Amino acid sequence: MLITTGELDAELAALGARGHRAVTGGVIRGNESRCRGWAADGVAPDASALFEIGSITKVFTGVLLADMVLRGEVSLTDPLSRHLPSPRPAWRYREPTLLELATHRSGLPNTPRPMGRRELAYVLGVRRGDPWAAVSETDYRRMVTEESPRRAPGRRARYSSMGVGLLGDALAARAERSYEKLLGERILGPLGMSFTTVGVPAERRDRLLCGHSRRGRPRPPIEDLLPAAGSLRSSAEDMLRFIAACLQPPASPVGAALELAQQPQARIGKRMQFGLCWIIVTDRRRPKVLWHNGGTWGFRSFAGFAPELGAAAVVLSNTARSVDRLGFRLVAQQ
């Protein structure tokens, strides 16, 4: 049975009691769905309010990869340089395949090492100002070429936004489109996700919420150079549309891509696997759940679904505090 409006309101209000400023939550059970909002100031965001969804962007990149595989434009076994000759790290071993990039087995760090230190300092409050603000495209390309992974690809998984960022760059280069335009044409447009973009059009900027740190301080919007890894903005309405399509893929090219992206590709633990960027949790005592979360300077997000239950949930917050626990609970308890 679908969670009631009152129960969902109470769950979102509980996040507010833990320091969140504004949240939206959406749930699906079978053919029913519900979406609600809550805000500390009493003006609750509606289903079209825009949030940064952070690393949930990676799931869309995985679906885009699946689409291009099914069209015969790329292969999962293609090396990165076949589609992205430069910039490229100084590989100590062989370079990773597109599949290894999508399953976090490339050997690359989460971000280029100089940025990793700056990001940590910013999150801890030691550094002021967005660490990516002064990084140019030239700077970024130099950092990529100076990277030299110490681990061979294909072995132990190591979460890497840099790896998925390069994957998205490779797909865009192959299609001779920007990542945002390619994603819009192949995935977002066919699914009717008109509010999901990297850059927010001027006429919708009033829909984009301001992000906040864990302590409630305003944070700048995400503006790094890894669009395929974490730069999408979206709404609860659009995300529910996406997750519903994942549960019941349409009979179309995008539906086939959604299905392929969900297939397990690499085992990373006793109860965990990677699809094409999806994290798949399996437990004999519980239904299988496919999920991903996201985090930027001032936002946190969760999207997940349980195919066996026909259930799904999306939680978006404009505060840098985790919403994962609620997301999993909403998927399982409906």
pLDDT at 334 over 70: no
Q: What is the pLDDT of residue 47?
A: 96
Q: What is the pLDDT of residue 269?
A: 86
Residue 54 to residue 131: CA distance in whole angstroms: 16
In angstroms, how far is CA 36 from the centroid of its own chain?
A: 21
Look up the CATH number of domain 5-333: 3.40.710.10
DSSP per-residue codes, 107-153: ---SS-HHHHHHHHHHHTTSS-S-TTTT--HHHHHHHHHH---SS-T
Interval 134-170: pLDDT, tens: 899 999 999 999 999 988 999 889 999 999 999 999 9
Average pLDDT of the segment spanning 256-283: 95
282 and 37 in contact (C-beta within 8 Å)? no
pLDDT at 285 over 90: no
Query: CB within 8 A of 67, min separation 6: which ones?
Result: 186, 187, 253, 254, 256, 257
Torsion angle of the four alpha carbons 254, 260, 262, 267, in this order, in degrees rounded to the nearest 10 = -160
Give the range among 107-116, 160-169, 189-198, 239-248 with minimum mean pLDDT.
107-116
Q: What is the pLDDT of residue 125?
A: 78
Q: In the predicted model, what is the mean pLDDT of the chain?
A: 95
Instruction: Enumerate the domain spans of the chain.
Output: 5-333
Q: If 0-12 CB within 10 Å is exposed, 13-18 middle and 19+ buried, where does residue 221 land?
A: middle
Task: Locate 80 and state its tokens.
Answer: 């990165």
Q: What is the pLDDT of residue 256?
A: 98
Instruction: Please name which of 266, 269, 301, 265 lies closest in space to residue 283, comparing C-alpha atoms.
Output: 269
52 and 233 in contact (C-beta within 8 Å)? yes
Q: What is the pLDDT of residue 160?
A: 97
Interval 185-204: pLDDT, tens: 999 999 999 999 999 999 99
Interval 41-86: pLDDT, tens: 989 999 999 999 999 999 999 999 999 999 999 999 999 999 999 9
247 and 257 in contact (C-beta within 8 Å)? no
207 and 213 in contact (C-beta within 8 Å)? no
- Band of residue 124 on the pLDDT scale cut at 50, 70, 90: confident
Average pLDDT of the segment spanning 289-310: 97
